[in-house]
Amino acid sequence: MEKYLRFIAAPALLSLLFLPFGGLKRAVALFGFLAILIPALKGLFRYLIKHKERFIFKMPQIDKKIILIPILLLSFSLPFAAKDYIVDIAILTCIYIILAQGLNIIVGFTGLLNLGFAAYYAIGAYTYAILTARLGFDFWTALPFSLALSALSGLLLAIPALRLRGDYFAIVTLGFGEIVHLILNNWDSLTYGPNGISGIAAPSVMGISFESLNYYYYFVLVITIVALIIINNVHSSNIGRAWISIREDEIASSSMGINTMSYKLYSSAFGAFWAGLAGVLFAAKMKFISPESFTFMESVLILCMVILGGIGSIAGVTIGAAVLVVLPELLREVQHYRMILLGAGLIALMIFRPQGILGGRGVSLRG
């Protein structure tokens, strides 16, 4: 009897906490629900741990590169097989893959927690928007400026911020993200404030405009693939190793001759660069941007993609991004609960599987 009482202590507490917010009926229902669920979960855990061997899933020892073939085939044939709605989501997925990879360079490779990554995303998007929609430049002229400005802002923020310890650095990046957001909202003469900028140009190559959804999809797909190749190549080079050594043990890294400050700066700039690219692609796709897309929540979402997929793992982060773009779409019905599930998911992830899906090794697609 006593044992059962301990089991219901937690549900009782949680239901009591819920009472003022949810009302008596729902609190009682919650209590009933938890009083069954929590002991059941505990029992389940105990069973799983006891019979661990039956459930261990061994990854088949295949050359990882083989998986790429069906994925590539699928990606290239998508517009023929699927509705516009799905192609649209695919474009968004690619954009977020690039974003997550950018953050992964900073957080995953180098070990610097950045909570304001959306700022670089915003700078890329807004620079492109202002240059094309307000000043009339075309895609290929506006692109380098947007990329350069994003990378530069990554660098400029990092220069003073990197003197700080890990969690303080994180807070400064958060502050920077918020300040950028505030500026976007209030500097009406430049950014049109909360109304946003519309009429953004789509890219074109040799006279063929990529306005149409399918053309734009292939455009973004190719860029994403190129980005992944570049990032993977940099990862498995002395530069990538320098970054990872900084993440693993900064003092040892420095003692082995790595100029850690320089490499942290490179990492920030390089990561921000990709955010800028994603921003441009986003702005060109939506043809309209507003500060709403570049909030702290956005930074958190991108961070979730990195953590979910596996910090430091290029393949993992790609999966993480895909999951966190596609899943909310699949669960359209429960749209309301998206954010609360995200919050709970983060906590659960940190407690039960902080290394994410692909185990957060510094695994590149080297095979």
Partner 1 sequence: MFFQQIINGLILGGVYALIALGYTMVYGILQLINFAHGEIYMIGAYMGIIFLAFFTAAGITEQSLALSLLLAFVLSISFTSAYGYTVEKIAYRPLRGAKRLSPLISAIGMSIFLQNYAMLTQGATDKVFPDIMGAAGVDFLGIKITYMQIFIIVVSSAIMVLLHLFIKRTTMGMAMRATAQDKTMASLVGININQVISVTFVIGSALAAVAGIMIAMYYGVVNYFIGYTAGIKAFTAAVLGGIGSIPGAMFGGLILGIVESLGASYISSEYKDAYAFALLIVILLLKPEGLFGGSGEGKV
Partner 2 sequence: MYLLEVRSLTKHFGGIRALEDVSFKVKEGAIMSIIGPNGAGKTTLFNCITGITKPTKGKIVFSNIDIASMQPHKIARYGIYRTFQNIRLFRDMTVLENVLVSLHNQLKSRIFGSIFRTARFISEENEAAQRAMEYLEFVGLQSAAESKAESLSYGEQRRLEIARAMAGEPHLVLLDEPTAGMNPQETAEVIELIKRLQSIGKTVLFIEHDMNVVMEISEWIVVLDHGVMIAEGTPYETRNNPLVIEAYLGKEI
Binding site for partner 2 (CB under 8 A): 230, 233-234, 237-242, 244-245, 248-249, 251-260, 312, 361-362
Whichever of 195 and 255 has its CB closer to partner 2, that residue is 255
Q: From partner 2, partner 1, none, which one binds at residue 68 (CB under 5 to 8 Å depending on kind)? A: none
Whichever of 89 and 119 has its CB closer to partner 1, that residue is 119
CB of 163 to partner 1, least distance (A): 7
CB of 345 to partner 1, least distance (A): 7
Report whether 258 contacts 245 (CB < 8 A). yes
CB of 245 to partner 2, least distance (A): 5
Binding site for partner 1 (CB under 8 A): 13-14, 16-18, 20-22, 113, 115, 160-161, 163-168, 170-172, 174-176, 178-179, 182, 186, 296-297, 300, 303, 307, 336-337, 339-340, 342-347, 349-351, 354
Q: From partner 2, partner 1, none, which one binds at residue 138 (CB under 5 to 8 Å depending on kind)? A: none
Distance from C-alpha of 294 to C-alpha of 356, rounded to nearest angstrom: 25
Phi/psi-derived region of residue 164, left when phi > 0, alpha when psi is between -120 and 50, beta in every other case: beta
Whichever of 108 and 196 has its CB closer to partner 2, that residue is 108
Whichever of 157 and 283 has its CB closer to partner 1, that residue is 157
Report whether 116 contacts 175 (CB < 8 A). yes
Six-digit token pair at 223? 């860029």
Burial string for 27-47 (b: 16+ CB within 10 Å, else e) reads: beebbeebbeebbeeeeeeee
**What sign has the CA pseudo-torsion 266, 267, 272, 275?**
positive
DSSP E strand stretches across 44-182: none
Q: From partner 2, partner 1, none, which one binds at residue 256 (CB under 5 to 8 Å depending on kind)? A: partner 2
Q: From partner 2, partner 1, none, which one binds at residue 90 (CB under 5 to 8 Å depending on kind)? A: none
Q: From partner 1, partner 2, none, which one binds at residue 176 (CB under 5 to 8 Å depending on kind)? A: partner 1
Whichever of 167 and 211 has its CB closer to partner 1, that residue is 167
Rg of the chain (C-alpha set): 23
CB of 15 to partner 1, least distance (A): 12
Q: From partner 2, partner 1, none, which one binds at residue 233 (CB under 5 to 8 Å depending on kind)? A: partner 2
DSSP string, 39-56: HHHHHHHHHHHHTHHHH-
CB of 306 to partner 1, least distance (A): 10
Whichever of 197 and 300 has its CB closer to partner 1, that residue is 300
Q: From partner 2, partner 1, none, which one binds at residue 22 (CB under 5 to 8 Å depending on kind)? A: partner 1
- Residue 55 identity: F
Whichever of 111 and 203 has its CB closer to partner 2, that residue is 111
CA angle 244, 250, 255 (to 5 degrees): 110
Whichever of 84 and 167 has its CB closer to partner 1, that residue is 167
CA angle 102, 103, 109 (to 5 degrees): 95
Give φ, ψ of 138 to 5 degrees.
-100, 175
Burial string for 199-212 (b: 16+ CB within 10 Å, else e) reads: ebbbbeeeeeebee
Q: From partner 2, partner 1, none, which one binds at residue 258 (CB under 5 to 8 Å depending on kind)? A: partner 2
- Residue 264 identity: K
CB of 300 to partner 1, least distance (A): 6
Q: From partner 2, partner 1, none, which one binds at residue 21 (CB under 5 to 8 Å depending on kind)? A: partner 1
Whichever of 249 and 292 has its CB closer to partner 2, that residue is 249
Burial string for 309-324 (b: 16+ CB within 10 Å, else e) reads: bbbbbbbbbbbbbbbb
